[in-house]
Amino acid sequence: MYKVLARKYRPTKLDEIIGQDVAVRILKNAILSNKLHHAVLLAGPMGTGKTSTARIIAKSLNCEKGPTIEPCNQCEFCMSISKGNSVDVMEIDGASNRKIDDARALIESVKYPPLKSRYKIYIIDEVHMLTQEAFNAMLKTIEEPPEYVKFIFATTAIEKVPDTILSRCQILNLKRIPEDLIKEKLKMIAKNENVSIDDEALDIIAFASFGSLRVAEGYLDRCISYSTEHLTQEDVSLVVGVTQTKTIETYFECIKNKELNCALNIIKELYKKDVNFEILMQQFIKYLIESNISEEYKAGLLNVYYHTFLDIKSKADPLISVNIATYKAIAMTNLSKISDVIEKIASGEIGGIDVEKSDILTHKYSKEKQYTNNIDKKEDSNAPSNKAKYETKTPSIDIESEIKGSKGLDVILKTFGGKIVSVEKINN
């Protein structure tokens, strides 16, 4: 039966784990000095080697040559752990064994020593899925287990694990694997599988995997099924759903030139080609970071597209999300700096502003409001003869002098020269 690449090339010893140098060094030293914690928690994103590391720890402890950092992978204990049928190494799925009754059964089994191996090891995957009651029931057992028991927990959401559990574990954080290491591993796999593939194609897979080796190996599996001959950059782009750099550049030019229809048509065509829009946003964000544009414009675009990336990741409709981002990005080309607008007002470059129409001042200045209120009060007391008196004393507003001389003046900038300014208040 065919074995997928992620399983076929799963690491079998600590030295084969890539991208996790700190965690590997800690584990090596702990095993060699016989100081491995009785409860180890492996935390990190998917596909970074948590379950593989847990199995390697189990083999290192129970190998007939062990404890050792170089398990033989040939003895009865190593082979049974690799196959997942060891009687003394139990792999438990936290999502399907999450209730308090499951925790009680585990606590009861801890009382009995291992049948064949040196240690009885419990590997609980996605441990954060356990209920609060199950965690509470296991507290004492995790804190003071028998000498022959080791717990190895794995989770992609360490923030959901109670602090009472975390305080009883040795926590090892597994980070996302760098693209160059993923590419190197994929190149080795392709060579072993007699697959011809371009370096640029491997770059695409490494980028699209987002630091997950398992995802990268899955993409390579899919690409091999797509073409049994030579895999090119175009082949991999089509299979993985990654947009080519030329398309990204064209889209950005449409944004800068305010060509809305052009940008929307590009997005529409990519949608028809079943491009992965989550990866597209990652590509475009990376392209923006490396682009040669003003820092203010770059920061604004990054803000728009990063939030779009988060929306798509949260299962929002990708086409609608990217279309909205396109509208926002094009509108941003009309923005001006607040400091530039104030300078133009002060210098008289922007003139002829009608206070009533442009609504520059929040309350048309507090003095004018005070007089207006007084007039209204007089009108209510049937004293119309005083209205003219208050009207003549209403001060005229010199915008330029007020901006220059007044402290604490709240100004709402709305329309200047047909441009919409995004910041609403200025304290001069």
Give the model's pLDDT for residue 227: 83
Is the predicted pLDDT of residue 363 greater than 60, yes or no? no
Query: Three-state DSSP class for 177?
Result: coil
Architecture of domain 179-240: Orthogonal Bundle (1.10)
The tokens for 61 are 């402890």
Give the model's pLDDT for residue 273: 87
The Cα 186–Cα 51 span in angstroms is 20
The Cα 326–Cα 318 span in angstroms is 12
Give the DSSP letter string of 15-83: GG--S-HHHHHHHHHHHHTT---SEEEEE-STTSSHHHHHHHHHHHHHSTT-S-SS--S-SHHHHHHHH
Same topology for domains 5-173 and 179-240, yes or no?
no
Query: Three-state DSSP class for 352?
Result: coil
Average pLDDT for residues 170-182, to the nearest whole number?
95
For CA atoms 336, 340, 341, 347, give the dihedral sign: negative
| Distance set, CA 411 to CA 341, 344, 355 (Å) | 12, 15, 12
| CB half-sphere exposure, 307, CA atoms < 13 A | 11
Give the model's pLDDT for residue 16: 94
| Distance set, CA 290 to CA 177, 243, 304 (Å) | 22, 17, 16
pLDDT digits (tens, 9 = 90+) for 138-164: 999 999 999 999 999 999 999 999 999
Residue 244: pLDDT band by 50, 70, 90 thresholds? confident
Write b or e for each residue in 281-319: b if 16 or more Cβ atoms lie within 10 A of its Cβ, otherwise e. bbbbbeebeeeeeeeebeebbeebbbebbebbeeeeebe
Would you list the domain boundaries of the chain?
5-173, 179-240, 251-334, 345-427
Give the model's pLDDT for residue 406: 43
The Cα 288–Cα 284 span in angstroms is 6
Mean residue pLDDT of the chain comes to 83
Give the model's pLDDT for residue 351: 55
Average pLDDT for residues 49-57, to the nearest whole number?
95
Instruction: Quickly name the fold that domain 5-173 has.
Output: Rossmann fold (3.40.50)
Is the predicted pLDDT of residue 376 greater than 60, yes or no? no
Q: What is the pTM of this model?
A: 0.74
Is the predicted pLDDT of residue 402 greater than 80, yes or no? no
| Higher per-residue confidence, 392 vs 272 | 272
Give the model's pLDDT for residue 322: 96
Of the candidates 46, 41, 71, the one whose C-alpha atom is nearest the C-alpha of residue 156 is: 46
pLDDT digits (tens, 9 = 90+) for 79-137: 999 988 899 999 999 999 999 999 999 999 999 999 989 999 999 999 999 999 999 99
Is the predicted pLDDT of residue 425 greater than 70, yes or no? no
Q: Which amino acid is at 209?
A: S
Residue 270: pLDDT band by 50, 70, 90 thresholds? very high
Give the model's pLDDT for residue 334: 61
Is the predicted pLDDT of residue 171 greater than 90, yes or no? yes
Is the predicted pLDDT of residue 187 greater than 80, yes or no? yes
The tokens for 281 are 């946003």
